[in-house]
Structure 1
Amino acid sequence: MTADKGPRDDRWYLSLMSPNTKGPNFAWLDPTSIYINSEAFNDLLDDLCAELDADDIDVVAGLDAMGFVLGAALAARLKRGFLPIRKAGKLCVDTDKVSYGNYSGRTQDMEMRTPAFAPGTRVLLADQWVETGGTMDGAIRLVERQGGTVAGIATITMEDNDKTAGYRAAYKVVSAVLPGTRWQTEANAQSLSSFQTYAAERTFPTAGRTSPPGP
């Protein structure tokens, strides 16, 4: 376990996430700066795994592309296998394919190897950020087509909208950003107060130090 950072709903590592600096064709923030700092990444995984029961999960599936990072890390922590769900045209084996609408409004295709698992397999779906829910919808359809059961959804945050409300009602949703917190309110508005003091240097791993410097 990592050192105590105070109340767990504070989720200190969320303040390391970077704002978009490239304009509207890109996602509004970048959570990957959490991953590069070992203490932040491990605290993130601690918080997510505290709400997951490995006995309810047979395999973790990560959504292309950044869901691979979170999903593979969770699979290793939970001692479960990892299944990548990929953008179309990447896998060299037989696949099943669905179309989905991504956060930018574009229609894309995603694929999963077939067969990927035995019918009845319980699959935890992992993605870095669930905004409009379109990508997650495609992954759910792929899993269910092969007779799998969605054991839950794990993510850094799931924004609040009609689509994601359906996910929360139907599945166990585990997120670093907890519903009802200021982080959730700011994520819904797609603007974090921590952006005002964001400094990339806070995340840098350096020799002999794993924790970030103070603000």
Structure 2
Amino acid sequence: MTIDKGPRDDRWYFSIMAPNTKGDKFAWLDPTSIYINGDAFHDLLDDLCAEINPDEVDVVAGLDAMGFVLASGIATRIGCGFLPIRKAGKLCVDTDSAAMTNYSGQTQSMEMRYPAYAPGTRVLLVDQWVETGGTMHGAVQLVEQQGGIVAGMVAVVMEDNENTAEYRKKYKCVTAIQQNTKWQDQANAQYLESFKTYKPEMAFPK
């Protein structure tokens, strides 16, 4: 199937993101179809990295689990290393831990290897989708516990709410879905108009 990209600055790849088909225990949307399609993934990384200054970042941290995909891609593009921030019990080395509440309201612990870097290291935090900000809050705690500096936050989208408003005030936040656009309005409503015409084969690799 040929994808109509439309205007390059219209972030055409949003329209191939998949709606949730499994119920309330899962996120309402799945961006992984962007990663499957080479054109979409590369254009997404182009758009995100265009707003990141590599001279202001020492390491890129990806949040478990889908944040690993974006973070590793960004780290490669800007010439930095990649640091995984994981759910508790996954790392086989000494760790720091921090509690957080995820988008479904469950309290979990996140962990990062200890030590991961020297004090003063500038850490760019990357996640796939920031809904309530709980997971990102846990990541901020971990970075600061080891004396790191949060260099900014990156995501496909940050939904608009009190928590994310505070992030935008305090940190440089880079998102593919930008504020004050139709896509942001739809993300805040947790329903994309493109769902009406979505078909899985739209994202199939060529």
| TM bracket, shorter-chain basis | over 0.9
Q: 1:197 aligns to what?
A: 197
Q: CA deviation at 1:5?
A: 5.1
Q: Which residue of 1 aligns with 2:7?
A: 6
Q: Can you list the C-alpha shifts for 1:34-60, whole angstroms capped at 9, x where unaligned?
A: 000000000000000000000000000
* Matched residue, 1:117: 117
Shift of 1:7: 4.7
In the superposition, the TM-score normalised over structure 2's length comes to 0.97
Aligned to 1:93, what secondary structure does the other structure show? coil
Where do residues 70-81 of structure 1 align in structure 2 (5 Å cutoff)?
A: 70-81=70-81
Inter-partner Cα distance in structure 1 for 2:8 and 2:32: 23
Deviation digits for residues 80-134 of structure 1 (CA, Å, limit 9, x no counterpart): 0000000000101000011100000000010000100000000000000000000
Instruction: Give the Cα–Cα distance (whole angstroms) in 2 for the partners of residues 137 and 48 of structure 1.
Output: 21
**1:33 partner letter:** S
Q: Distance in 2 between matches of 1:179 and 1:71?
A: 21
Q: How many residues were matched structurally?
A: 202
The residue that corresponds to 1:26 in the other structure is 26
Unmatched runs of 5 consecutive residues or more in structure 2: none
Distance (whole Å) between structure 1 residues aligned to residue 18 and residue 195 of structure 2: 7
Question: Aligned letter for 1:32?
Answer: T
Which consecutive segments of 4 or more residues in structure 1 shift more than 6 A? none
Q: CA RMSD in A?
A: 0.9
- Match of 2:115, SS state, is coil
Residue correspondence of structure 1 range 1-215 to structure 2 within 5 A: 6-8=7-9, 10-206=10-206
Superposition TM-score, scaled by structure 1 size: 0.93
Paired residue type of 1:6: P
Aligned-residue offset at 1:62:
0.1
Q: Percent identity?
A: 66
Distance 1:24 1:190 in 2: 12
